[in-house]
Structure 1
Amino acid sequence: MERYLKANTSKKRTYSLFRQGCMYYKALPMMREAELRPLMERFAQLVREQLVFREAFGLI
């Protein structure tokens, strides 16, 4: 998904990861499910991998 945020002439990242996250968050309400589902599944996987979140949300 990062390729959609880059200028087509640039080979490297043009926005910081924080800025990319802000852009994705802003786009969530209008995002098609085909794009939204992989993004949310990956986010859920990353959250589950973090011990602090497992301890905090483990009961949920």
Structure 2
Amino acid sequence: MERGLKANTSKKRTYSLFRQGCMYYQALPNMPEARLRPLIERFAQLVCEQLVFREAFGLL
């Protein structure tokens, strides 16, 4: 997904991972379903892998 954030002539990352996250977060309300679903599914997977979140939100 990083390809959409950088110039196609650049061979390395042009934005930090934090900056990329901020850009994706800002784009969420207008993002098409096809691009939004993989982002949300991966985020949910990463959150579920963290013990602290499983304990805090396990009942939900």
- For this structure pair, what is the TM-score category when the shorter chain's length is used for normalisation? over 0.9
- Tell me, which stretches of 5 or more residues in structure 1 are unaligned? none
Q: RMSD value over aligned CA atoms?
A: 0.6
1:53 aligns with 2:28: no
Q: Once the two structures are aligned, what percentage of the paired residues are identical?
A: 87
User: Which 4+ stretches in 1 moved above 4 angstroms?
Assistant: none
Residue 27 (structure 2) aligns with: 27
Q: How many pairs align? A: 60
TM-score normalised by the chain length of structure 1: 0.95
SS of match in other structure, 1:11:
coil
Distance (whole Å) between structure 2 residues aligned to residue 47 and residue 59 of structure 1: 14
TM-score normalised by the chain length of structure 2: 0.95
